[in-house]
Structure 1
Amino acid sequence: MNQKFARRVQGWSLIGVFALLLVACGGNDDEQEEQQQESPPKQAQVQTLEPFDLELDKTYPAMVRSDRSVNIIARVDGTLEQQHYRAGGIVEKGDILFTIEKDTYQAAVAQAQADLQSARASASEAQRDYERYQRLYQNGSISQQQRDQALSQRDTSKAAVAQAQASLESTQIDLNYTDVKAPVAGQVSLNDVNVGNYVARQTQLAEVTPVDPLEVRFSLPQSDAFALRRQRQMDDAPNVNVELDFPYGDDSATTDTSLTGDLDFLGARVDESTSTVQARAVFENPQNLFLPGQFVRVKLRNLMRFHVLAVPEIAVTEGLKGPQVMLVNDDGEAQSRFITMGEQARGWVIVPEGLEKGDRVVVSNIGSISAGDKIDAQPFDGNVDSEPDNPSGLDASGANKSAGQGTSVSGETDQTSADERSSNSSDN
């Protein structure tokens, strides 16, 4: 009997211990729930999405061109007597580059001048004979045939004068061609024929390449070309600035390796094979730093994207399924959403898929916020360059900072944040 009673007491004791453990565990859960409920909302800046126009800076590969490059060709035959330039130097339009055997052509000009004088003398004599025969014919002293012969002789003499004049001009042109001049200003190449060699007509002697201004042709994706064409047709849209840039090692740190130019051509058709549109820009190159044939980067500044949804780059994190952002739902809690990223520029990311107008995106303190956290939404201050140091979005005076870039992005108002904090406190 005593043994049975002892077993019962021992069983009741074990049951009591288990009950106490269960009570203790239940109490811990309640305490944890109370601690979670009592944890304050996390402050973060929140951007309410609204479509706006975003300015981008786009860069395209290109090559410098100079379509006014000219081949220097010999226009006369003869010995190449002199070279008047230094290879690689800059020459002006009209500068003499070469001299081809002058003496022969000077003699030809002198001969042509003598022939012209002789023809003029013969013409004068024929004119006087005609006038005399004309008077005799009127007096009936000579026949009409004799008068006509004098007239024909006069006209033939005049033609001989014109022929001699043309011959003189031709020889003078050849003489002028013995001084080979630069037809354009630019940088002159190495000589193709050495001094002392005989050159025939149409022999290439050198090349002159204009280096100021320069031309750059490049291809735009059709989406960029469409936006650019639309922007250029708008009166109130910002101007698209064109820059030409290439860095060359350490020199780029101390030398200005960029030029500002004008976009003077945008193609009227899309290339079917590449889906691009050709464009051209012209740049002044006063220091002759850039040369034709160099590969460069053409940058279009202030290229607009119209009516887009965009978020700051700092709001986007990488999730298991790709890029994602944190949203604030109607209950004031954080939730993640995967998005499709579009173009990125000036600290913004265009979001073509995944977000809608009116969505509230967390744009600060991203690393400390998890899905399900209560969020104390603060106005978005427009700073997209880095993680804001002041999550409240207020300046020293307590006023809201204005959103940058002239966009329509905004955070919640102070009154809304206050109402949410009050609601969260009452729920807890």
Structure 2
Amino acid sequence: MKIAYRFGRAGLLFLAASLLLAGCGRDEASQQGGAQERPPHPVEVAELSPQDIALERSYPALLRSDNEVTLVARVTGFLEQRHFEPGEMVKEGQLLYSIEPDLYQAAVNQRQADLQSARAELVRAQRDAERFERLLSQNSVSRQQVDQARAELGVARAAVAQAEAALASARIDLDYTEVTAPVAGMISLSRVNVGNLVSHGTELATITPLDPLEVRFQLPQYDAFELRRQLDNPDAIAEIRVVLQVPGLNGGAGEPLVGRLDFLGSRVEESTSTVQASATFANPEHRVLPGQFVRVSLEGLKRYDVLAVPEIAVGQGLMGPQVFVLDEDNVARARPVDLAEVAGPWQILAGGVEPGERVVVGDLAGIEPGVTIEPLPFDGEAGEIVEEQEQQERQAEQQEMEAADESGALAEDAEDDAS
């Protein structure tokens, strides 16, 4: 038993030595293989140069009708007639309500009679004053009598003016008994039924013009600053379009609503750090309504003379965002960068790179510092690169899902066989 034990122990030592030698051989082989250079990694490369990048900005907004009017009663009386149907389009100057016009017509007639009486009294006073002037020249009346006649003439003239003013006021009240549309638009439900007593200030209905409509929105102060700087360029103003984005509207057969920028504020709101702006949209088909929440897109905005790369060219390193810059030997070197805005498929760089440097702009998969790159030409279409990358990711996800489904099916078959 002792001899067998020694022999077994010697065999184990021999086996361990053999495995150690084999491992050393494999290490030498792997070192020799690692010494071989990997082939250059083909990927799109672009030489950085300043360019103008188009931006698209959208902001939440609320539609409003700038000329919306609330009709109110200007006189007191019974509402006798309503001359419209709620929800219809009314024209400017169209008769809408009648508020007891007979009562105010009678008041006008009374004021006319008062005016006639005052004018007759004025004629009498004027004749007396003229007669007393002639008698004074003949020393037939005293100076006091002449002064009295002149005073009565002044009182008569004032009475005529007072009667004329009262008649004008009565006629204004009579006009107010017929409520007409000050603007054209869609009228709301009547807030007062026919037969009710209304007084001065009673709200009757609302007229909302639907074409054009105004939209007010808030711009972040940096966007507002850049927009104002661009608007100062006369050649750039015509390039800016204001497009209304309404869920379910632009996806249909109709064209999007395009308006014009009317106002850009000159101060920053302290509470929101935004600048107010407004735009006007033609709405001839009444496709949108006031009070509707929408998004306003500004098209034609640009950032001038900036350095930018496709968004997928920016990776994340130990120092933060980074890109890969090629040296003279086409070796990739990681370079930390400062990011500015994202403009569609483009990422604008605020610092870290210089014009003339070559940057990897394609898919970063398989690229790390020190890798030799085979530069492929870049046609300048960042959107195509981003779309291609997204398509590859979707295909990879689809393959993973299919593999998972297949594994699940095999597992179910194995359970069925085992049962």
Deviations 1:143-179 (A, max 9, x none): 3333333323322222222222111111111100000
- 2:80 aligned partner: 81
In 2: Cα distance, 1:389 partner to 1:63 partner = 33
- 1:419 aligned partner: none
Contact between 1:187 and 1:211, CA under 8 Å: does it hold in 2? yes
- Give 1:292 deviation, angstroms: 2.3
The alignment partner of 2:350 has SS state of: coil
Structure 1 position 284 matched with structure 2 position 279:
no
Deviations 1:223-260 (A, max 9, x none): 112212222223454656242423334x5432537322
User: Within 5 A, what are the aligned runs for 1:122-271?
Assistant: 122-237=121-236, 239=238, 241-249=240-248, 251-256=249-254, 258-271=256-269
- Give 1:181 deviation, angstroms: 1.8
| Letter matched to residue 103 of structure 1 | D
| Letter matched to residue 178 of structure 2 | D
In 2: Cα distance, 1:32 partner to 1:134 partner = 135
Q: Which moved more, 1:98-107 or 1:184-193?
A: 184-193
Deviations 1:379-420 (A, max 9, x none): 432111213999xxxxxxxxxxxxxxxxxxxxxxxxxxxxxx
User: Within 5 A, what are the aligned runs for 1:326-341?
Assistant: 326-336=324-334, 341=339
The alignment partner of 1:192 has SS state of: coil
User: Within 5 A, what are the aligned runs for 1:4-15?
Assistant: none
| Aligned positions, number | 370
- 1:69 aligned partner: 68
| Letter matched to residue 114 of structure 2 | D
Closer, same or farther in 2 for the Cα pair 1:161/1:333, shift >3 Å? same
- 1:6 aligned partner: none
In 1: Cα distance, 2:103 partner to 2:322 partner = 84
In 2: Cα distance, 1:204 partner to 1:222 partner = 40
- 1:384 aligned partner: 382
In 1: Cα distance, 2:124 partner to 2:333 partner = 113
Closer, same or farther in 2 for the Cα pair 1:96/1:389, shift >3 Å? closer
Closer, same or farther in 2 for the Cα pair 1:257/1:188, shift >3 Å? farther
Deviations 1:109-146 (A, max 9, x none): 11221222222222223222332332222223333333
- Give 1:31 deviation, angstroms: 7.0
Contact between 1:246 and 1:257, CA under 8 Å: does it hold in 2? no
Closer, same or farther in 2 for the Cα pair 1:94/1:318, shift >3 Å? same
Closer, same or farther in 2 for the Cα pair 1:186/1:171, shift >3 Å? same
Closer, same or farther in 2 for the Cα pair 1:238/1:370, shift >3 Å? farther
In 1: Cα distance, 2:281 partner to 2:87 partner = 21
The alignment partner of 1:72 has SS state of: strand
The alignment partner of 2:309 has SS state of: strand
User: Within 5 A, what are the aligned runs for 1:31-46?
Assistant: 36=37, 39=39, 41-46=40-45
Closer, same or farther in 2 for the Cα pair 1:368/1:239, shift >3 Å? farther
User: Within 5 A, what are the aligned runs for 1:313-392?
Assistant: 313-316=311-314, 325-336=323-334, 341-352=339-350, 354-364=352-362, 366-367=364-365, 372-387=370-385
Percent identity for Structure 1 against Structure 2: 49
Closer, same or farther in 2 for the Cα pair 1:28/1:183, shift >3 Å? closer
Q: Which has the higher helix share?
A: 2
| Letter matched to residue 82 of structure 1 | Q
- 1:298 aligned partner: 296
Contact between 1:133 and 1:147, CA under 8 Å: does it hold in 2? yes
Contact between 1:46 and 1:360, CA under 8 Å: does it hold in 2? yes
The alignment partner of 2:385 has SS state of: coil
Contact between 1:267 and 1:279, CA under 8 Å: does it hold in 2? yes
In 2: Cα distance, 1:283 partner to 1:108 partner = 47
- Give 1:58 deviation, angstroms: 0.8
| Letter matched to residue 98 of structure 1 | Y
In 2: Cα distance, 1:248 partner to 1:222 partner = 27
Closer, same or farther in 2 for the Cα pair 1:366/1:96, shift >3 Å? same
In 2: Cα distance, 1:221 partner to 1:168 partner = 57
- Give 1:201 deviation, angstroms: 1.4
How large is the Cα RMSD of the aligned pairs? 3.4
Closer, same or farther in 2 for the Cα pair 1:336/1:261, shift >3 Å? same
| Letter matched to residue 181 of structure 2 | A
- Give 1:317 deviation, angstroms: 5.5
Closer, same or farther in 2 for the Cα pair 1:142/1:236, shift >3 Å? closer
Closer, same or farther in 2 for the Cα pair 1:389/1:303, shift >3 Å? closer
The normalised TM-score by structure 1 is 0.75
- 1:54 aligned partner: 53
- 2:398 aligned partner: none
In 2: Cα distance, 1:246 partner to 1:229 partner = 23
The alignment partner of 2:194 has SS state of: coil
- 1:404 aligned partner: none
User: Which segments of 5 or more consecutive residues in structure 2 lack a partner in the other structure?
Assistant: 1-13, 389-419
The normalised TM-score by structure 2 is 0.76
In 1: Cα distance, 2:386 partner to 2:293 partner = 39
In 2: Cα distance, 1:148 partner to 1:31 partner = 134
In 2: Cα distance, 1:28 partner to 1:289 partner = 71
Deviations 1:251-285 (A, max 9, x none): 54325373222323222222333222222223333
